[in-house]
């Protein structure tokens, strides 16, 4: 039997305050892919994410996660990294304490040695550059450091599908490149399905295997190369992109 896709969205409609925000969104994300969901501001990206996470009810249509409807049980296989976290300067936890509190097995270990906690956290933190930050107060991290900590945090529960909302929103430009490289390495290492939600096209194109362009509906989808060649999409975004060489492993190779 073939496995159902990691995510299937079929004809999803959502109206907010009288405005039809999602107007029949249909998309399917195969297991193990690293895909991007792009769209200008107001195109419904956040609304769709919220619907997938069970935070926004839908008027009609269907969302299935690994073949199952959105529920506590299917959502236990999904990790979510928020765009940003507004933290008060007074938020007193160190990175180690923040992460340890999120894991049932380390939650009660805070009075124990750091070594024991760090060992328990190590497999999720590997390659994220978070280990050197463990003693730092969460409230004093830079945007990029906080994003890394939030990704580590989302990995603690070993999700099979990871949703990353505008992952570089709080990251400075020099940090962006290494940030996407880190996401690719998380993807390889944990063999998970990743959906990057972004309005920032150029970086996403370099790293995603497949791109869905949203504008109330999925107006276009394809490989990054296909998408940059799509004139109507270029116009919609005012894009000036040049094709580049991309090493993708996806098997799908057509534009709808």
3-state class (DSSP) for residue 60? strand
Binder among 19, 173, 235, 249 for ligand ADP (CB under 6 A): 19
Q: What's the CA gap between 29 and 192, in Å, rounded?
A: 12
- Of 12-20, 70-78, 184-192, 237-245: span binding ligand ADP (CB under 6 A): 12-20
Question: Among all chains, which residue has been given the structure tokens 């969104």?
Answer: 25
**Beta strand pairing call for 218-222 and 68-69:** unpaired
Alpha helices in 156-250 (DSSP H): 173-190, 201-207, 224-229, 231-237
Alpha helices in 103-222 (DSSP H): 114-125, 143-155, 173-190, 201-207
3-state class (DSSP) for residue 18? coil
Q: Which stretch of DSSP H or E encloses residue 8?
A: strand 7-16
Q: How far is the CB of 57 from ligand ADP (least distance, A)?
A: 12
201: contact with ligand ADP by CB under 6 A? no
Q: How far is the CB of 42 from ligand ADP (least distance, A)?
A: 4
Q: How far is the CB of 180 from ligand ADP (least distance, A)?
A: 20
Tokens representing 108 are 């009660």
Q: Count CB-CB contacts under 10 A for residue 238.
A: 7
Per-residue contact track with ligand ADP, 42 to 61, x per CB under 6 A?
A: xxxxxx--------------
> What is the separation, in whole angstroms, between the first and last Cα of the chain?
27
Per-residue contact track with ligand ADP, 25 to 44, x per CB under 6 A?
A: --------------x-xxxx
96: contact with ligand ADP by CB under 6 A? no
17: contact with ligand ADP by CB under 6 A? yes
16: contact with ligand ADP by CB under 6 A? yes
Residue 35 or 128 having the CB closest to ligand ADP: 35
Please give the size of the binding site for ligand ADP, defined by CB under 6 A.
Answer: 12
Task: For residue 238, give Cα distances in angstroms to 44, 85, 189, 233, 234.
Answer: 19, 30, 35, 8, 6
- Of 16-24, 105-113, 122-130, 172-180: span binding ligand ADP (CB under 6 A): 16-24
Residue 50 or 177 having the CB closest to ligand ADP: 50
20: contact with ligand ADP by CB under 6 A? no
Which residue's Cβ lies closest to ligand ADP? Answer: 17
Q: How far is the CB of 164 from ligand ADP (least distance, A)?
A: 13
DSSP state of 99: H
**Which residues bind to ligand ADP, rule: CB under 6 A?**
16-17, 19, 21, 39, 41-47
């Amino acid at each position: 039997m073939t496995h159902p896709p990691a995510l299937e969205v079929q004809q999803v409609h959502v109206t907010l305050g009288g405005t039809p925000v999602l107007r029949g969104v249909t998309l399917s994300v195969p297991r193990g892919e690293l895909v991007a969901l792009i769209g200008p501001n107001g195109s419904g990206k956040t609304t769709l994410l919220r619907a997938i996470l069970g935070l926004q009810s839908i008027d009609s249509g269907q969302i299935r996660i690994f073949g199952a409807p959105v529920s506590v049980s299917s959502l236990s296989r999904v990790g979510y990294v928020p765009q940003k976290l507004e933290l008060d300067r007074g938020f007193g936890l160190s990175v180690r304490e923040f992460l340890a509190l999120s894991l049932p097995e380390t939650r009660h270990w805070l009075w124990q040695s750091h070594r024991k906690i760090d060992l328990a956290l190590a497999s999720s933190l590997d390659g994220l550059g978070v280990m050197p930050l463990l003693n730092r107060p969460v409230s004093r991290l830079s945007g990029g450091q906080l994003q890394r900590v939030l990704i580590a945090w989302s990995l603690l529960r070993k999700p099979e599908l990871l949703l990353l909302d505008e992952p570089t929103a709080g990251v400075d430009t020099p940090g962006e490149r290494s940030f996407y490289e880190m996401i690719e390495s998380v993807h390889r290492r944990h063999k998970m399905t990743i959906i990057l939600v972004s309005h920032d096209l150029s970086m996403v194109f370099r790293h995603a295997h497949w791109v869905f362009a949203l504008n109330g509906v999925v107006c276009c989808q394809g490989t990054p190369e296909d998408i940059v060649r799509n004139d109507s999409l270029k116009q919609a975004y005012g894009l000036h992109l040049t094709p580049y060489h991309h090493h993708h492993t996806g098997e799908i190779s057509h534009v709808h």
